[in-house]
Amino acid sequence: MSTTFLPCGEYHQSYHEDHAWWQTKFIKGKMILLMLVLFGGIPYMADSYWISVCNQVGYTVLGALGVQLLIGFCGQVTLGHAAFLAVGAYTSTLLILEFPWPKFFLDLGLAYPISILAAAVVAGVWSVLFGLPSAKVKGFYLILTTMAAQFVTVDFVITQYISQIGGRGQAFSLPPGTIKIGPWVIDSDLKIYYMMLVLVILLVAAVVNLLRSRVGRAWVAIRDNDISAEVMGINVVQYKLFAFFVAGFIGGVAGAFWISNLAAISPEHFPWFWSLWLVGVILIGGVGSIHGTIFGSIFMVVVMELLQMAVIPLASSYPKLLMDFLFIKEAAFGLAICAFMVFEPNGLAYRWWQAKNYFNLWPFSY
């Protein structure tokens, strides 16, 4: 999926313009409008329930962004990304709870922001560790090693060892008030929403910029054909590992962000299902497209919420449905992936691209 066609009469005169952030004034206006809606409109219009749905969307975007980078742009299929989310979440939690912070830091509310950064770096390094086999293997074999990352990290290291730190047993609970950025205590859905927005915008911008650079072009070359990329003089191993680092980094931020929404974190928050869910999100949204990540996240979260809403009225006549909703959700997710792969293999982003081109080229679409 290449770039969108520009409307009639708009054209670029330099290479620089061709790669600009805002291709036309109209696009810039659209983005400003989008920001206004995101920062002002949604918090004003939506109630607490829909804000929390938005937060879930944001979390999914953050998680799927790393997966998109690895699968969609570097061609390294990963089925264990939840492990890195878990590493991020646990690093952040442990730092907040166990690290002897000077009082000064706590008063200024620096503990959580610093822990997010630390979590991101730790998750990135952990991801590189499990990305090392990518130097030697690829395709299906790499999928297996990333699965090993999931089982080793979440089911073994975190469940058996990390969870025992501090003698709390299975879950770490975060006392209210510990999650604090500067003077703001993150305690309501709305505050989480704003934090989510800032993180999503920062990271999406960072990834898009990275993809416009030498690094991004190298990744795309590796995705398209790693042998030719090597022939062209790209250090394949180095760039692959860097992709793993960035993906793990984003995953770490996502995990560290999500602890603000959880009263207690436990390994059950990062199951293998979640890794597959993230891959499903980018497949439904469109592989190799940042738009796709966001569309996929919105689609999956909102469809699941709507499914839940549809189930609740039915539940009065079939109480079993409500209890088994989780299973219905699983089956629906599976069917959705199959259906998208069979009927819409380019994902939602492709339809978006088509629609945009239709309007840009209207009325002379030849």
Partner 1 sequence: MDLLLMTLTTGIMVGGIYALVALGWVLIYKCSGVLNLAMGEMTLIGAYVSLSFYSMGVPFLLSLLFSLIIGFILGILTERIFLDRLIGEPVLTVIMVTVGLSFFFKGTVEFIWGTDTRVFAPPVFSIEPVRLGPLIIGEVYLWSFVAAIILLVVFVCFFKYTRWGLAMQATADDEMAALSVGVSARFVYAAAWAIAFMAAGVGGTLLGNINGLNISVGYLGLLVLPVVVLGGLNSVPGAILGGLIIGVLQNFCGAYLDRYFPGGVKEVAPFAFMAVFLLFKPYGIWGWERIERV
Shortest distance (Å) from residue 166 CB to partner 1: 17
Shortest distance (Å) from residue 28 CB to partner 1: 35
Look at strands 184-185 and 172-173 and give their pairing: unpaired
Shortest distance (Å) from residue 244 CB to partner 1: 14
Note whether 137 binds partner 1 by CB under 8 A: yes
Q: Which residues contact 77 (CB under 8 A, 6 or more apart)?
A: 70, 71, 139, 142, 143, 146, 279
Q: Which is nearer to partner 1, 182 or 345 (CB)?
A: 345
The answer to whether 55 and 247 are in contact (CB under 8 A) is no
Q: Which is nearer to partner 1, 187 or 330 (CB)?
A: 330
The single-letter code of the amino acid at 231 is: V
Rounded Cα distance between 340 and 319, Å, is 31
**Residue 36 parent element (H or E):** helix 25-36
From the list 12, 45, 330, 359, which residue makes contact with partner 1 (rule: CB under 8 A)? Answer: 330
Rounded Cα distance between 145 and 325, Å, is 32
Gyration radius of the chain's alpha carbons:
21
Rounded Cα distance between 226 and 168, Å, is 47
Q: Which is nearer to partner 1, 263 or 332 (CB)?
A: 332
Rounded Cα distance between 42 and 89, Å, is 27
Note whether 7 binds partner 1 by CB under 8 A: no
Note whether 266 binds partner 1 by CB under 8 A: no
Note whether 220 binds partner 1 by CB under 8 A: no
Rounded Cα distance between 3 and 128, Å, is 31
Rounded Cα distance between 51 and 280, Å, is 23
Dihedral sign (CA 81, 346, 212, 234):
positive
Binding marks (x or -) toward partner 1, 281..320, rule CB under 8 A?
--x---x---------------------------------
From the list 120, 200, 234, 279, which residue makes contact with partner 1 (rule: CB under 8 A)? Answer: 279
Shortest distance (Å) from residue 69 CB to partner 1: 15
The answer to whether 87 and 123 are in contact (CB under 8 A) is yes
Residue with tokens 């030849």: 366
Q: Which is nearer to partner 1, 160 or 213 (CB)?
A: 160
Shortest distance (Å) from residue 224 CB to partner 1: 11
Note whether 71 binds partner 1 by CB under 8 A: yes
Note whether 168 binds partner 1 by CB under 8 A: no
* Strands of the chain, DSSP E: 172-173, 180-181, 184-185, 264-265
From the list 37, 205, 312, 331, which residue makes contact with partner 1 (rule: CB under 8 A)? Answer: 331
Q: Which is nearer to partner 1, 305 or 324 (CB)?
A: 324
Note whether 280 binds partner 1 by CB under 8 A: yes
Rounded Cα distance between 291 and 26, Å, is 18
Binding marks (x or -) toward partner 1, 11..50, rule CB under 8 A?
----------------------------------------
Q: Which is nearer to partner 1, 217 or 329 (CB)?
A: 329
Question: How many residues in the chain?
Answer: 366
From the list 225, 308, 354, 365, which residue makes contact with partner 1 (rule: CB under 8 A)? Answer: 225
Sites of contact with partner 1 (CB under 8 A) = 71, 77, 79, 130, 132-133, 136-137, 139-141, 143-145, 147-149, 151-152, 155-156, 159-160, 225, 227-228, 231, 273, 276, 279-280, 283, 287, 324, 326-338, 341-342, 345
